[in-house]
Every structure is written in C-alpha cells, then in structure tokens.
Chains A and B, each alone.
Chain A
Amino acid sequence: MEYFTISLFNGVVYGLLLFMVSAGLTLIFGMMGVLNFAHASFYMVGAYLAYSLQKIFGFWPAIVLAALLVGILGMVVEAFFLRRVHRYGHAHELLLTFGLAFIIAELVKLFYGNYPLNYRVPDALNFAAFQVFGTDYPVYRLLMGGISIGMFILIYLLLTRTRVGIVVRSAIYRPRMAEALGHNVPLVFMGVFGVGAALAGLAGAVAGAFYTTNPNMALELGVIVFVVVVVGGLGSLEGAMLASLLIGLISSFAVGIDLSLIDFFGLFGAREWAESVGGVLALKISSLSATIPFALMLLILLVRPSGLMGEKS
C-alpha cells in the first residue's frame, strides 16, 4: 500500500510536468502538421530566463515573465522563420526547427556556461506539504501539478468554449475556409505558436528550479516529450494529458518492480534454466524504467498509429 500510494503521487506529478511541456508541442503539431524539434529548447530557455530574472524580480514574477518572453520568442520564430519556409513544405519546417534547437543549445552554453546553474526552489517554498508513510511530500511538487492541471483546464475551455477557440480550431482544420471568412489565419498561427512556446517556457521556469537547469535539459526531456505526443495522438490535447499521466505512472511504478523474465519462466518451473541462460532474461524491469515508455510508443505505433486519442487523417 505504501509503495502504491507513493508511486501514484510521484507518477501523477511527473506526468503532469510532462503534460506542461507536451501540451504546446501537440497544439503546434495540430496547427503546422510538423513536430517542432525546438520545443524542448523553449523549455530550457524558460528555465534559464527565470533564473536570470528571479535575481531582479523575485521568484513568481520571474516565472511569469520568463513564460511571456519565451512566448514572444516563439512568435518571432513563427513570424520571421517558419512562415518563410512554410511554402517549401513540411520537411523544410522540420529542418528549421531542428537547426534552431542546436543554435539555442549553443547560445545557452555561450551565455551561461557548460555547468548546471544554482537555480533552486526558493526557501519559502521548500517545505513538506504533508507526509505519506513517513516521507515528506514537497509542496513544490504539488504546485507543479496544480499549475499543470490549471493549464489544461484553461486551454481546454479556451479552445472549446470561447469564440477565440472556434477561430483557432477552424484555422487549424480548414485554414483556407477560415481565411475566406475573413479571419487572419497567419495571426492565429503566430498566436498559437507563441502560446505553445510560452507553455513550454512556463514548464521550464517551474521545473528548472526543482530538477536541474543545465544545457542538456532540452535534450533530456525532448525525447520523452515526443513519446508523449505520439502516444497521445498528434494534435490532441486530451491525448497528451492521458499519455503524460500514463508515462508518468509507468516510469514511477516500474522502478519498484524487481521482476525479470526469470520470474516469468519460474511460473512454468523453468527458473533454473532461465537463470543459467542469464543475459536478457535476468534484466529487471526496474532497470528499464526509463526505456519502457519507448516500448509503449512502439506498441502504439504498431496497434494504433494515430495515437490513443488522435484522429485518423
């Protein structure tokens, strides 16, 4: 029970963090039809900006400002770079964002150096919210989870319940028709890209303090975020939420499972044989916890290529 409760808490909050980053990515994919390779870089920029700004403005204003600045950066990227290559097709957009990710990583190293920064959770927030079976549960984790849930509700309502949402959705699915009806589609695209980037920036600013802020953080999170978006269904916000939670929980629960294929064979009385073979059979599930999400992605692509909640195109 103890293990179950703690893993549940940990998994859900990690999943919610993944959602914060992947929400923007899946929105942008829905719009452009292209995976934005630089998305995790926005996450990193958010963390670094928040680190610099908090020295001047304090923690909370810095986080909001960092998200806004990354949003503006996203808009600039869309308006001055992506829009220009849009007519050459998806491959060019993809390459552009790919290059951008490298440039951002190098710029960050240039300005902030190669090593992790001392960007930390402020002391005022560094306490335990409650105790689960004698383990402190940090209040900051709850905060990260709360921000993520708030974000989900806000975007969801915005997209489904407001006029802005209708225009955005129509611009995404039927850009020509929306344009013919007098809506400024390029502006909508720029706005969505900016919001997507800002969400990633917000996630970075919040998570950078809790985890580490270093020049590799984009790389470390970038891959798993792609997995989330693919598993959830490209372009689907609800799918991203579902997949984030799923992956968060899987990687959390897998850590405590020390079973291997030997135990599986043991069920059929072939334990000794399996132990003598060793190798792959002796591999524990717990040592693969970070690899399982990728296996899940493979499975989803085989069984349901459009993702859990994705639409078949």
Chain B
Amino acid sequence: MHEFGMLMNGVATLAANPMALLLSLVGVALGIVIGALPGLTATMGVAILLPFTFGMDPVSGLLMISGVFFGGVYGGSVTAILLKIPGTPAAAATAMDGFELTKKGMAGVALGTATLSSFLGGMASILVLIFLAPVLAGFALEFSASESFALAVFGLSIIASISGKSVVKGLIAGFLGLLIATVGMDPMGGFPRFTGGYTELFNVPFIPVMIGLFAAAEAFKSMEDPKVRLGMAAALGRIIPPWATYKSLLGVVSRSSILGIVIGIIPGAGSDIAAYVAYNEARRFSKTPENYGKGELGGVAACEAGANGCTGGALLTMLTLGIPGDAVTAVMLGALTLQGLQPGPLLFKEHGDLVFTLFAGMIFCYVGMLVLGLGSLRFMGRILQMPKSVLTPVILALCVVGTYAINNSLFDIGIMLAAGVAGYFMQKWDFPASPVVLALIMGPMAEANFRRALSLSGGSYDFLYSRPITAVLLTVAILTMLLPLVKRWRAERAGVSGGPVKATK
C-alpha cells in the first residue's frame, strides 16, 4: 500500500501545521455560510477567497479553498430543508423531501441525515481520490459529447419520478423548462435566441429562476392565510437520527456516493446532476417509492451523499489531468498554479508529498464539516422558532440580495420575481417546480452535446448506438421513462385504476 504510507506521512506533516488545520476549519465554516445563502455558490466563495491565499503556504491556502468547496456543497442543504431556499442547485433536489419533512416537524432529523450523508459521501469520494486516482483518470477522457448527451437524457428521464401528483403536469413543467432553457446564446452558433434584445438574457438565468420557483413562491404562499402569518413555522425535533433509522439508509448512501463520485469525474457534470440522479436511483430501489416527494429521509440522504460524492470525483479529474470539470475546480486549478503546483500528470510525481498532505487535510476538512455541521444545527434550527411574519420578509430579502449577487444585476431580481409569481400559481394548481429546475440543468447540456456530437461525427447519427457508454445510458433512460407507464397500464388492466399504484420490484 504505497498510497497508505504516503497518506500517513501526509497526516504527520499536517499535524505539525496547526495553522493549516485552523484555516481549513475557517474555510469549511465560510463554505457552509456561502452555500446556505441563496445565489452564492461555492464557485464565488472560492474565487473571493483566492486572493487571500496568495500569501499563505500552499497547504494552508489550498485546504482553506477545499474547505469552502466542501462546505459550500453541503451548506445548501440547511436552508433548503429548513426554509425551502435552495442555496445551491443541488440543494433544490434536497428541498423536495427535506422541506416536506420540516413541515411534518422532523426538520432536525432531516438536517442530521443530510449532514451525516454529506460527510459519508464526501469521505468516500476523498478515499477514492486517494487510492484509485490513477485508475479512474482515464474514465473522464472516455466521455465525449455523445456520452454527455446521453447522461443529460438520462437525467431528464427522471422528470416522471419527481412529478408529484400528475405525470402529465410534471412533463408539461419539464418541457416548459426545456423551452426556457433554450433562451440565450445558442450553444453551437452563438446566435441569441428568444432574448428580445436583452443582453442579460444571453445566458439562461438559471439560479434566479430556481430561487424564485422554490423560495419566493413558498414565501408568497405563506402570505395567504392571516392565521398562518403570525404562527411559528415548525418544530425542530431531534437532530441525530436514531441508529436504527440511519442504518436502513446506509444502502442508499453508499449507492449515491458511488454515483456522485462517477458523475463528479465526468467533465461538465457536477453536484446538481449527481443529486438528482442519486435521488432517482434511491427511489427506484426503494421499497416505498410512493413516499418520495412527501418527506422521505432516503431522498435527503441520496441527494446529499450524491452531491458531496462529486467533490472528490471533480478533484480527481482536475488533479490528475489538469482539467477542471466544473467552475469550482477551474478556480481551484488557478489556485494550485498560483502556488507553483501545476495540476496534471506530473503533479503526483513531482509533488507527491504535498499532494498526500493535501489529501490528509481534505479528510480533516470533511471531519470538521461533520462536527461544525452537527454542532451548529441546533442553533440554525432556531430560525424555525421565528414567527412567520418576521421569517417570510427575511426570506424574501435574502432571495432579493442573493439573486442580485450572482451577476450584480437588478435584471436578475426581476426574473426571480417573475419566477416566484409563476411558482406560486404552479404550486396552487399542482404543477411541480422540480422538473423545471431539472430541465434547466439538463436541457442546455443535452442540446449542446447532441449538436457537438453530430458535428464531431460529421453529420452521422451513428454515435447514438455505436458508442457503448452512450448506448447503455440511453437505453436505461428509455426504460426509466417507459417502465412506469407499462406498469400503470398493466395495473389499470388489472382493474385498480385511479388509486395509487404501487411499483413492484
């Protein structure tokens, strides 16, 4: 075990550097706050922090940045569960079941489960990064445009299972999302579509739409009933889930972690996609899939384990190949080069000791995240003890400032408000919001990569079946979409139409 020896050396080096340990904890705490605030993403946090790390030694600086990255991915879940404000796109998936649990008075357990699952998913991904990095590095390169297209279609096939009461309405929401996702610069030709001449619309305003649909819509709804307005929001309950409960989630967590790691390795796919895919697979393998969307701990665990599983996967591609898979790792790549460490094939050879010290520090970051997370939950839960008449204005003010912060743009606040109004009416008439968000994540990825694959193949559609990964992903996607319909059709023939149809395994 060459890696194990290196890691132990790293632990020893790190233990002699208390400043680095302290700074990584500061990074994690900062990351959690940034992740929890709507509109502020881990990318922004890392970028803001970057200039401060110039003067630090490489280990301290890079661990502080890693801490912000890990904390930022996790932090989104806190506000998503408590207030239905998804701090990050991945947390929009967590909010589906997390906020339902809060409504049931189980906010504490939901938060505890999210924290534990984030920790386990993240730890698993760092361990894979340490021990399997060279083996898995080549996998990222297998992914060309056609595979990314297939992954996006696979992601979209989830729409049916997050549709809530009506599949037709879910699909309508999904395709409306896909249509909205085509607003902006055409990914291949650079032609502005449906922008009405507004340069602000050249990029799909994805995060403002998400904040509006989830958080603002929920805030507007709470203004409906004067009796609700003055009442307390909800109880927090116990935080650490009972072992018996969490034990039953371990299968979900390990499966989701693996999915997260794999998706993290793929360039261009990040924690948002991982969270949704992990959610869908958790539901597929669940004995009680009908509970998903109504407050199922498994849903929260899957999203968080998947999202944090991505962190190690994304770092793996960036460190071994020198290619950042997403925006956060792109900034981290800059941070590494500024410290005189050129990520890429030579990094492990030339700076092996330092790399393994960093790995040891990343494990420490995740342990720190677990401790800080569990320790602060009781305090964060206090939010729920505010009367709604104060809480709702605070939520709306946060939505406004968070949306502004993305691009320093008042225009985006207008988009957020419009999405909030739309979301209010959608929720009133049972049109689910999650498919819209999913479509906004996957739609541009599907279109750009389909058209790129077509260009790469010189106009031939062979890539749809001649490339193994593409073919498998597309087949699974089609089955995911069709199987529920077949089951429903068979159940209806058996004469149980109308009532809830249980999926049988």
Bind each other? no
Question: Which residues of A line the B interface, CB within 8 A?
Answer: none
**Residues in B lying within 8 Å of A, measured CB to CB:** none
